[in-house]
Copies of this chain bind each other. A is one copy, B any other.
Amino acid sequence: MGSIVHPSGVTSNDETGFSTPKITAAEGNVGESRSDEHPQIPGWFAEHCPIWPGEAHFLKVENICFQGKSEFQDMLVFETSTYGKVFVLDGALQLTEKDECSYQEMMTHLPLCSIPNPKKVLLFGGGDGGILREISRHSSVEQIDICEIDTMLIDVYKKYFPDIAIGYKDPRVKLHVIDGTIFLNSVPKGTYDAIIVDAFDPVTLCLGRVLCIQGESFWFKSLDIEELLIKSRKIFKGSSDYAWTNVPTYPRQVNIGVIGFLLCSTEGPYVDFRNPINPIGPENYGISKHPLKYYNSEVHSASFCLPSFAKRTEANKSTAKKI
């Protein structure tokens, strides 16, 4: 999923209140010795996190397909019996073949199905190509820009995850191998209909009509969704909403199977993210060889429904703190 840095579950203290992935939280331990603080099992991959102690999730490494280091980061690809191939970046699990669909599809279609006729889409991170594959299903889209600095990462995905990296084959895709901040400064505001951020802090992302960025899990204790939405409405001057999806293997010790999405729109016509006005169905293949696996319009709307403890109301203020 995020190909630049690993979302850590740490909520930043900057003015926006957006989640900022600052920590590379987990460490791979395929048979090697690590800190005594974390349990290890030779031959198994572990994720564990200093901010979520006392919990560890292990996947048995059936076969190491690739281990290498780019200019920017360490990469590891291994096979598991249950989740298919797994990609690990700087020790942090990025995706598995089994469940990548629930993240990639939701992150893409939640914003793109919420606006009429999206034409220009910008993707930050997402170097694996899965979100590109999903954007490709939208026939209205004319231009897909992706900003990803690590070309070796792209090559590794192309070699070991062809069904994911297939997104690069869409002729509308243009890869910009450039630092995200530099790219941002080179683009006029309002250039894109939608911006999908699968990588870093979106503070300056007012370039698009709608924006989708990964948020924390609603199970994460420090996340105050109401506050996040109020702040983001102030910044982006439009609507904002929080949705979530279920990704079994996603860093459990932080997000425990749930990934949140923050959706924002800038000034202009009201965007009602909960009701997709631009629906997409299983018949939309785009560059993909498969129909949609996870997303459908019903799941779209349902993904905005939150447990009571995650809503901040007078009635459950004390409850929310107890979770």
Which residues of A approach B to under 8 Å, CB–CB? 39, 41, 44, 52-60, 62, 80-83, 98-99, 101-102, 219, 246, 248-249, 252-253, 256-258, 282-283, 290-296, 298-299, 301-303, 305-309, 311, 313, 315-316, 318-319, 322-323
Chosen A-B contacts, 25 in total, with CB atoms closer than 8 Å, are: A39-B58, A44-B56, A54-B62, A54-B80, A55-B57, A55-B59, A55-B83, A56-B57, A56-B60, A57-B57, A58-B58, A102-B307, A246-B258, A282-B315, A282-B319, A283-B315, A291-B308, A291-B315, A292-B319, A293-B308, A293-B309, A293-B316, A296-B311, A299-B305, A302-B303
This protein's copies in its complex: 2
Min CB distance A309 to B, Å, is 5
- Known contacts A55-B58, A58-B56; A290 and B319 CB within 8 A of each other: yes
Max chain B CB contacts within 10 Å: which of A52, A283, A291, A295? Answer: A291
Is the beta-carbon distance between A309 and B256 smaller than 8 angstroms?
Answer: no
* Of the residues B58, B301, B315, contact of A57 by C-beta under 8 Å: B58
Top 7 A-B pairs, shortest CB-CB distance: A257-B257, A248-B256, A302-B302, A302-B305, A54-B60, A39-B41, A54-B81
Assembly CA distance A224 to B169 (angstroms): 34
- In the bound complex, do residue B292 and residue A308 qualify as a contact, i.e. CB atoms below 8 Å apart? yes
Known: A53-B81, A308-B294. A323 touches B219 (CB 8 A): no
Residues of B within 8 A of A60 (CB): 53-56
CA distance A71 to B41 in the complex (A): 35
